[in-house]
Amino acid sequence: MRKWLICLAVLLTLTLMAATVRVLLWDDALTQALREGLPEFEKKTGIKVELELVPSGTLLQKTLISVTAERSDYDLIAVDEPNIPLVAPLLLPFAQWPETKFYTRPSMADIMPLALEAGQWKGEFKGLPVNANVYIWLTRKDIIEKYKDEFKKEYGYEMRVPKTLQELLDMAKFLSKKGIYGWAPFTKPTEGATCEAIWMFESFGTKVLQVTDKGYNVVLDKQKAIEAINFYRELLKYAPPGALDYGHAERVAAFSRGEVFSMFNWPALVPDIENPEKSLVAGNVVYTEPPAGPAKAAAVRGCWIVAIPLAAKEKTAAAEFAYWWMSVETGRKLIPKGLTPARESLLKDPAYSKERPWFLGIYQSMKYAVERPRFERYPEVSQVIRNNWLDAVSGRVSPEVAVDRMVEEINAVLKKYGY
């Protein structure tokens, strides 16, 4: 019996060592940093990793083509939180992930509650939250120092990191006379525009779609939504030329050239701004939570989970890779390579506050995180939101018409799928 158990253990070890885990992730500085640690992971575990990185905007489409309930081309996949409801039926619940040999299941206590919440659907974890991703607010501290006293003479308070949207508008108006744009938007017809709409709607006190166990209801408050649109249109007056066709690349470039005072950004895009070879403002940026609207401060959350498909062939190897990714040891080794951790302890670690000041910005912003609608048909709802939002802020239609259409078209999506 003893010999049989030994043989079985050896067989299981050899099976694991022979495993190749196929991993599908989004492509940015965070996931690129993982490549740096693969040789060590492969040497320790005997697991070969085939890491495929694709643009975040095409990841969902590739996932739905490559993963079904009966077949999966990948053993571990990344899912952006708004898409978890759509992909959830294809995923092995986190509670059912297999036991592993080399790396232990990470403690959820070290992940911020609102980041942890992003990995759940209908009360069940669908994967492991690996990225505490949230919009953070960037402000030029050198501009504040230069103009704070002059600004105070005109507005009665010192220039600072804007605490409210009204302060942001005040500062934008003032800086326009100095040849500096107060703010940079996101107006390309992609998911970023949906995030802008959600940010403003939440800041003014309204959600778009309420999702409960009993169903789905469009709850957009027309008056608050109109106020949010009109305020955004006012901010656009103080944005750079071409602001109605601005995406991540355009606003990062304008900010890095020193043309913009304050704006949102995803953490993965910050390293270039802090790279003195690519940016004129490196070392002169403060990272905080966003300025508050009339209702509250709202930072749009975009956390990612990694998940094991139900049909994955190498579930144990996939779990090993995910646990390795989330370990404190891996975090400390790969943060210098570009990894952004999900662990609260690493985000707050003083060892990173000087070289990566945006880590504390992530931690602060996550306290004000708001989610996009959690809904199985989110991509369609997102398209309705951004199309009508962009029509309104660009002036193609009135805010009143845009809000009415948004409500009508989202209700049509709900009806289409029997909700």
Task: Of 327, 344, 329, give the one whose Cα is nearest residue 105.
Answer: 327
* pLDDT (tens digit per residue) in 195-226: 999 999 999 999 999 887 778 899 999 999 99
Q: Where are the beta strands (DSSP E) in 281-382?
A: 285-288, 299-300, 304-307, 369-370
The owner of tokens 């592993």 is 100
- At 165, list the tokens: 């949207």
Q: What are 269-276's contacts with CB under 8 Å, separation 24+?
A: 269/28, 270/136, 270/138, 270/358, 271/29, 271/338, 273/138, 274/357, 274/358
Q: CA distances (Å), 33 to each of 21, 298, 324, in order?
A: 18, 29, 13
Residue 178 scores a pLDDT above 50 = yes
Q: What is the DSSP letter of 130?
A: E
Residue 94 scores a pLDDT above 70 = yes
Task: Flag whether the pTM goes above 0.85.
Answer: yes
Residues of the chain with CATH 3.40.190.10: 2-134+302-370, 136-300+377-416
CATH 3.40.50.300 is held by the domain 136-300+377-416: no
Residue 128 scores a pLDDT above 90 = yes
CATH architecture of the domain 2-134+302-370 equals 3-Layer(aba) Sandwich (3.40)
Average pLDDT over every residue of 68-93: 96
Q: What is the rounded CA–CA span in Å between residue 132 and residue 75?
A: 22
Q: CA distances (Å), 138 to each of 15, 47, 128, 251, in order?
A: 49, 40, 28, 12
Q: What is the rounded CA–CA span in Å between residue 334 and residue 341?
A: 9
User: Residue 14: its pLDDT value, please?
Assistant: 47
Residue 107 scores a pLDDT above 90 = no
